[in-house]
Amino acid sequence: MTSLELPEVSSPHFSTQATYDGNLIRVHLAGNADLHAKDALESLLTRLHAEIQRLGASEVTVDLHDLEFMNSSCFKSFVSWISAVQDLNADKQYRIRFLSNPAMLWQRRSLHALKCFAIDLIQIEQ
């Protein structure tokens, strides 16, 4: 099985963990994605995009259940990521499934708004 080459972020306030079981890629984000996490998150998503294409995966799950806060700068990284997926040829595009936590205020509307950027590629689940 080809492994997922994605470095984990581990800082006191923000962390990421990625898994790949040969079929499904799952990325778990936790903590506060504020200005200090911006570069790390941007780098992670860029690398994730490349890895998904290398592995030929058709879907990735992003678990936001434990992500307590995300500021607009970090959210922009998601917008850029989605734009990059949209720019791929149709046969290379992959789906993004966000696992949300309705208790998190910031996720309430923003994830549904994010889905509107690419309704055929994004799925929001609780």
Q: Name which of 27 and 114 has its Cβ closer to other proteins.
A: 114
Q: Of 44 and 85, which CB lies nearer to other proteins in the complex structure?
A: 85
Residue/partner pairs of 87-96 with CB below 8 Å, 24 or more apart: 88/53, 92/53, 93/121, 94/52, 94/57, 94/58, 94/59, 94/60, 94/121, 95/58, 95/59, 95/60, 95/121, 95/122, 95/123, 96/59, 96/60, 96/62, 96/121, 96/122, 96/123
Site for other proteins in 57-86 (CB under 8 A): 69-73, 75-76, 79, 83, 86
Q: Does 92 bind other proteins (CB under 8 A)?
A: no
For the CB of residue 36, give the shortest distance to other proteins in the complex, in Å.
14
Cβ closest to other proteins, residue 20 vs residue 78 = 78
State which of residues 1, 12, 21, 119 lies at the interface with other proteins (CB under 8 A).
119
Q: Which residues bind other proteins (CB under 8 A)?
A: 69-73, 75-76, 79, 83, 86, 105-110, 112-121
